């Protein structure tokens, strides 16, 4: 990614992490370029924490497994029916009604 392409994406995201909104100074390049490791396609700019922790976990484990884990183990985690998530035990898409 060229510096010009980075700047365009930075401006498009209002200088913040696509996931959590953390704001960064363009001169410090505090946002990382998140990309698909297989295709090289750029997805967006993320702060270090989101890029490493969130995306890293999703790529390593899979989003579905993370959703199932949170739902099955945390009594305070919302029921997938309330958040519109796919829950593998129900074998159907659960949506907010």
For the chain, give every domain's residue range.
3-93
Report helix, strand and coil shares of the chain as percent, to nearest 5.
Answer: 45, 15, 40
Please give the pLDDT value at position 12: 94
Q: The domain 3-93: what is its CATH number?
A: 3.40.1800.10
Q: Report whether pLDDT(26) > 90.
A: no
Rounded Cα gap, residues 45 and 38, in angstroms: 18
pLDDT digits (tens, 9 = 90+) for 62-83: 888 877 777 777 666 666 666 5
Q: What percent of the chain has pLDDT over 90?
A: 22
Q: Report whether pLDDT(87) > 80.
A: no
Pair type for strands 42-46 and 86-87: unpaired
Question: Which H helix or E strand runs over 26?
Answer: none
More confidently predicted of 72 and 54: 54
Please give the pLDDT value at position 39: 87
Least confident of 11-15, 18-22, 27-31, 87-91: 87-91
Q: Where are the alpha helices (DSSP H) in 1-97?
A: 3-12, 48-49, 56-61, 63-73, 80-83
């Amino acid at each position: 990614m060229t510096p010009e392409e980075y700047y365009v994406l930075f401006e498009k995201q209002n200088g913040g992490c696509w996931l959590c909104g953390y704001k960064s100074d363009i001169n410090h390049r505090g946002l990382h370029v998140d990309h698909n490791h297989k295709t090289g396609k750029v997805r967006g700019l993320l702060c270090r924490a989101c890029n490493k922790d969130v995306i890293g976990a999703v790529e390593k484990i899979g989003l579905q497994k993370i959703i199932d884990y949170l739902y099955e183990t945390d009594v305070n985690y919302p029921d997938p029916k309330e958040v519109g998530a796919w829950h593998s035990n129900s074998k159907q898409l659960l949506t907010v009604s």
